Amino acid sequence: MKLGLGTAQFGSDYGVTNARGKVAVEEIERILRLAADHGVAVIDTAAAYGESEAVLGHVLGERHSFLLVTKCLPVAAERIGAAEARRVRDGFLRSLEKLRQASVYGLLVHHAADLRKPGSDLLVKELLDLKRQGLASRLGASFYGAHELESDMPLDIAQLPLSIADQRLVADGTLRRLHAQGVEVHARSVFLQGLLLADRVPPSLADRARPLQRIAAHARTVGISRLALALGFIASIREVDVALVGVTSRGELEEILTALRGPSHAGDLSRLAIQDEELLSPSRWPKVNA
């Protein structure tokens, strides 16, 4: 498993437990230097992540050791026509300009539901053309559930939610099927926007927090931190190629790197899975950003 950096916090105050807000450029530079020094492989961004692409372009420049993955702008229309498909293409070309890159490793459809809209074949055609031109080495999409996986676009990368709390795509065999098909799996939300590590949950989620306490209690029982438990679970899933983590400081990344080097709890952790889909889906949380 490779480690990747999610960068939503580099361009906005993303995250229900993010008390620091948008990360300052100077801190981003420190984070990326540490990431490069410790072999962090992937940087994940998106056109919709505020200033993230532009900040990364400024800090990284053209020469760096990372595999860059970005996401195209979502399609607002219910039906995709030629104009909508061209806007996605043009938006990606602007992303390359912001990132100051001639090409990227991965280009993802930000909302996989766009691949199921009428006219999505036009979108797929544009994306495949970008790949043929060498502007993106791999194509994929960001998924929220197995029901979104059926599309006409050949997948090189599937980005999807996975954590010790959210084991749905392990239990239903989705990860196993993707791996068998040669699809590169990028796990996101591995800390559930920080809820798995937080001492306090936001008041709007307090009435759903009891299952999180079971995970914290298990970490105490086996004598490791919640961070080590969360990362150890992801590392134990052999189908995961990249684990994406979001940080707001160099110190947070140092803690993650240290936890990955330390002991983690092996064994069957399926009993810690949470079944409450409202809690597992940030887009359904009240009064917070997804």
SS3 28: helix
The rounded Cα 105 to chain-centroid distance in angstroms is 15
pLDDT in tens, the chain (290 residues): 999 999 999 986 554 444 556 899 999 999 999 999 999 999 999 999 999 999 999 999 888 999 999 999 999 999 999 999 999 999 999 999 999 999 999 999 999 999 999 999 999 999 999 999 999 999 999 998 888 888 778 999 999 999 999 999 999 999 999 999 999 999 999 999 889 998 888 888 888 888 899 999 999 999 999 999 999 999 999 999 999 999 999 999 999 999 998 887 767 899 999 998 888 888 788 764 43
pTM over 0.85: yes
- The second-level CATH assignment, the architecture, of 2-284 is Alpha-Beta Barrel (3.20)
3 state DSSP class of 72: strand
Neighbours of 155 (CB within 10 A): 21
Query: Would you list the domain boundaries of the chain?
Result: 2-284
**Dist. CA 195–CA 38, nearest whole Å:** 26
Residue at token pair 């909302």: 111
Q: Enumerate helices (H) and strands (E) in the chain, giving the number of each.
A: 11, 8
Residue 277 burial by CB count (10 A; 0-12/13-18/19+): exposed, middle or buried? Answer: exposed
CA dihedral 174, 181, 241, 109 (to 10 degrees): -80
Cβ pair 146, 221 in contact under 8 A: no
